[in-house]
Amino acid sequence: MDRTKGYALMFLLGAFLAGGALGFSAERVIRAGHGRDMRGPRAYRQRMAEELKLTPQQQASVDSLIEQKHFGKAERNADPDNA
């Protein structure tokens, strides 16, 4: 009985590890199609603008809002009086 439980446990552990490795590999293969140029804040903004079909004016407005939010956080974090 103990031997059977041991085999079952080893099987489950092996299945878990194999599934994790397969999932990791599949994710890497799927994302490989995007290339390195699709990473980072600039690429994120470009993808968002394309998906939402923003006009250049709308894209500029969104960019300025994102920058205000980003730089506002940086200023609040750097301000010792705001702690």
pLDDT of 79:
59
Write the pLDDT tens digit of every residue in 60-79.
998 888 888 877 765 555 55
Is residue 83 over pLDDT 60?
no
pLDDT band at residue 5 using 50, 70 and 90 as cut-offs:
very high
DSSP state of 34: T
What predicted TM-score, i.e. pTM, was given to this entire model?
Answer: 0.41
Which residues have C-beta within 8 Å of that of residue 75, sequence separation ≥ 6? Answer: none
State the helix-helix crossing angle for 56-78 and 40-52, rounded to 10 degrees: 140
pLDDT of 41:
75
Tokens representing 14 are 């092996």
Is residue 36 over pLDDT 60?
no
